[in-house]
Chains A and B, each alone.
Chain A
Amino acid sequence: EVQLVESGGGLVQPGGSLRLSCAASGFTFSSYWMSWVRQAPGKGLEWVANIKQDGSEKYYVDSVKGRFTISRDNAKNSLYLQMNSLRAEDTAVYYCARVVPYSSTFDYWGQGTLVTVSS
């Protein structure tokens, strides 16, 4: 059974940093692109970042470029999101999601972890 379990969320002050983790199991993690998708309170879904199977390609939504870094450790079946210079508008539930090969589809999602940026 495919499982994605996020952790690392919490309350952080504006300008602060946080590192999210996503532990994957039930599939060959190193064979898939992975993503982070977020959802602000009461709002819709927003794609945040993607990383290729071997970590050689990474893409970000414009609003987080230069502040967030996506990474992965295939030996640990883990995905990460390092978030720096956090802003109030980054407050959201962050989901990790698996990308279907050759498709514009996220087929499995974690339960999400809440990040709150507030003083």
Chain B
Amino acid sequence: QSVLTQPPSVSAAPGQKVTISCSGSSSNIGNNYVSWYQQLPGTAPKLLIYDNNKRPSGIPDRFSGSKSGTSATLGITGLQTGDEADYYCGTWDSSLFWVFGGGTKLTVL
């Protein structure tokens, strides 16, 4: 069982918007920045969002992040079939060092 809780799966149609939640506690999300990673099938994770809502160079603005209290959310607009992947949230935990969510599989119908 992961320290951070994500829904196992989400789905939406091409062009639509989807959000993925990540729930934690005061020992992790509540007091630290959250990152989001995209893992396309058969590949390594790739940084998508860092420091709650910042995008690395090259990440389109269709991807956004937010945090409120002990929860964080990843938003993806204008869904494309190429967005089908597993998405993970991650952060620092005061007791456990680095922790991740269990991952959310995005299906673009």
Interface residues of A (CB under 8 A from B): 35, 37, 44-47, 50, 59, 61, 95, 100, 103-112
Size bin of chain B's contact surface: 20 to 34
Contacts of B103 in A (CB 8 A): 44-45
Docked-complex contact B97 and A59, CB < 8 angstroms? yes
Contact of B92 among A45, A61, A104, A108 (CB under 8 A): A104
Docked-complex contact A109 and B88, CB < 8 angstroms? no
Interface residues of B (CB under 8 A from A): 2, 32-35, 37, 43-47, 50-51, 56, 88, 90-92, 96-103
Measured CA separation A46–B47 after assembly (Å) = 15
Interface majority SS (helix, strand, loop, mixed), chain A? strand
Docked-complex contact B50 and A105, CB < 8 angstroms? yes
Interface majority SS (helix, strand, loop, mixed), chain B? strand
Contact of B50 among A37, A44, A103, A110 (CB under 8 A): A103
A74, chain B: closest CB distance, angstroms:
22
Docked-complex contact A44 and B101, CB < 8 angstroms? yes
A27, chain B: closest CB distance, angstroms:
14
Listed by A's residue number, 7 A-B pairs whose Cβ atoms lie within 8 Å are A44-B102, A44-B103, A45-B45, A47-B97, A104-B32, A105-B47, A106-B37
Docked-complex contact A95 and B100, CB < 8 angstroms? no
- List the B residue with the shortest CB-CB distance to A47: B98
Measured CA separation A61–B99 after assembly (Å) = 10
Q: A44-B100, A45-B90 are in contact. Are A109 and B51 (CB under 8 A)?
A: no
Contacts of A50 in B (CB 8 A): 97-98
- List the B residue with the shortest CB-CB distance to A4: B44
Q: Which one of A100, A104, A106, A111 has the highest number of Cβ atoms from chain B below 10 Å of its Cβ? A: A104
